[in-house]
Amino acid sequence: MSDADLLATEHDDIGQIIKRALRNRSFLVGLVITLAVLALALMSFVWTPYDVTKLVIADRLKAPSFAHWFGTDHFGRDIASMIMEGARNSIAVALVAVAIGIIIGVPIGCWAAAKRGIVDEILMRSSDIIFAFPALLSAVMITAIFGPGAVNAIIAIGIFNIPVFARVARGAALSIWPREFILAARASGKSDARITREHILPNIANLLLVQGTIQFSLGILAEAGLSYVGLGAQPPNPSWGRMLSEAQTMMSLAPQMAIAPGVAIIITVLGLNLLGDGLRDVLDPKLRRDR
Amino acid sequence: MLAYAARRLLTVLITLLAASLIVFAVLQIVPGDPARLMLGINATQDAVDNLRQQLNLDDPIHVRYATWLTDMARGDFGSSYTYSVPVRELIAERVIVSLPLALIALTLSTLVAIPVGIFTASRHGTSTDTATMAVTQFGIAIPNFWFALLLVYIFAITLRWVPAGGFPGWDDGILPALQSLILPAVALALPQAAILSRITRSALLETMREDYIRTARAKGLPARRVLWHHALRNALIPVLTIMGLQFAFLLAGTIIIENVFYLPGLGRLVFQAIQQLDLIVVQSVVTLLVAAVISVNFLVDLAYAWADPRLRSRTR
């Protein structure tokens, strides 16, 4: 779908959008999965089936049972409880990384679109340069130099969201600027900044929302990768990636240890991707189903 | 075409220069004295001073950057502090693992993705299309290192068809080497194949809506012929771009996948160098990888412009 399709929703009323949302299977499934994962993560703040910081060696490497739904790990910790707390970490890292991308990237993109010319050229070429760095490689470099941990993982992932949002915002804003209502706003003497705030941003919000969902799911995968190599959240905070790296050493003894964290990542990413696809269709009045 | 290539080459050179500046700068802002950081807190002041001299740390920063850049351009990547060998030798040893790995993964993903994309596009809207697209959604959501663990469990631990990790080198014959590369390549290829098949499908569907396709159909050409002879060639242009971008993902993906399979490739080298704070290796390998990504994208751009002359004028 081109950006222009998504931008054309300015005259859609909220009722129509909700009606379309309720009919869109991808949106509904994605929304339910995402809300369920969020709910589990939030619930872990007040309740988990077992305490994940308590090691119960007598219960180590238990197969899934009624008492331990996904079994226990090599320290006898309940895997289901660790998955719940790990969700918290994954979501927090990916969400803040998206926020960094939006807060810094969108103003840059909007500025480039408003100023055009040399400013635009410099900003966009700079984003090209960042794109030349394989994101994971640089994330590994950043977290290694500044030390492993959730905060540095957020920064490493967030930096790569900046050019993504800058480009999306610029592309979308560029297609709004020539419109008549912008000309009218200009004629009434409004500044570029005010036009961007009052007219451009509300019109490109749809597109940013869809992109935000995509980057969120990529962030979950990136965080898992960083934690897997030991550069994400540090013990005792459980993280899905680190659970997998611990499972790797136990692979021949207890393969079940690797199943639950992997499935948790897949379900979360799948939910977000479906939600993103659904949102795109819901916010696009032409409803192009072929993507 | 030549003018276009020259202009793109200039951008590539500027991008390379800027990228090298970023890599250099990032490693300059390591907290504290880099020499002390590399040697650890127990190192003697003499050893630290020696390393400082070796790294030219007492020179002004712009002189150091210029020296590093000219040395790199001459093929002198410096000496690894932990391995005590020239970085060039290390890279030469490792690239013969990573490059075949990335190429096998790219070949696998292309061989799967393009037929799947064509197949689903030709059955657009049917239940086969929907089911295949659902499978690709899963493919995108699966972390490749988790898939790698699964492959190890099934094919190495349970079936014992292939080794669970390590690399015997190319000297013992191609077959044992390929056996150690096949699982990592499959793990790397899976998400890429899922993305590429979706892109092939939507590019084909988009092309099938073009006027010239309608004209071809109106002329009475059979649907199959229109798909293969008219639509596919044009639809493959965006697919080619994505393949170029995927090369970057594959290179980065080797960092994690080589760690899963204990493969002595570039990804593992850079990861270990980062852990050991061997900044000379990190600096050189990262710059090299970024240069590879930029060069591949440049080649893809050229191929793109060659295939579609409209692009040359549009970017002018």
Decide: residue B83, CB within 10 A, 0-12 exposed, 13-18 middle, 19+ buried.
middle
Q: Percent of chain B having pLDDT more than 70?
A: 97
Q: Which amino acid is at B21?
A: L
pLDDT at residue number A290: 42
Q: Which amino acid is at B4?
A: Y
For residues A201 and A176, the answer to whether their CB atoms sit within 8 Å is: no
pLDDT at residue number B37: 74
pLDDT at residue number B38: 76
State yes or no: pLDDT of A288 exceeds 50: no
By Cβ distance, the residue of A134, A229, A261 closest to B251 is A134
Q: Which residue of A has its CA nearest to B140?
A: A270
In this predicted model, which residue has the larger pLDDT, A266 or A128?
A266
Q: How far apart are CA B295 and CA B292, in angstroms?
A: 5
pLDDT at residue number A139: 79
pLDDT at residue number B313: 59
Q: Which residue of A has its CA nearest to B202?
A: A291
CA distances from B285 to A230, B52, B105, B127, B266 (A): 21, 21, 21, 47, 8
Q: How far apart are CA B82 and CA A237, in angstroms?
A: 32
In this predicted model, which residue has the larger pLDDT, B221 or B38?
B221
Question: A244-265: per-residue pLDDT in tens?
Answer: 999 888 888 888 888 999 999 9
Q: Which amino acid is at B284?
A: S
Q: Is the reported ipTM for this assembly greater than 0.95?
A: no
**A 210-269: CB under 8 A from B:** 217, 221, 224-225, 228-229, 244, 247-248, 251-252, 255, 258, 261-262, 265-267, 269
Probe site for chain B from A129, A214, A267 (most B CB atoms < 10 A): A129
pLDDT at residue number A287: 44
Highest mean pLDDT: which range of B26-30, B139-143, B212-216, B270-274: B139-143
For residues A161 and A215, the answer to whether their CB atoms sit within 8 Å is: yes
State yes or no: pLDDT of B215 exceeds 80: yes
In this predicted model, which residue has the larger pLDDT, A213 or A150?
A213
State yes or no: pLDDT of B314 exceeds 60: no
Q: Sorting pLDDT into bands at 50, 70 and 90, what band is A6?
A: low
pLDDT at residue number A7: 59
State yes or no: pLDDT of A12 exceeds 70: no
Distance from the B259 Cα atom to the nearest Cα atom in chain A, whole angstroms: 8
pLDDT averaged over every residue in chain A:
86
Rg of chain A's alpha carbons, rounded to an integer?
22
State yes or no: pLDDT of A9 exceeds 60: no
H helix runs in chain A, sequence order: 3-7, 14-23, 25-46, 79-100, 106-115, 117-131, 135-146, 150-176, 180-187, 192-195, 201-228, 240-249, 256-283
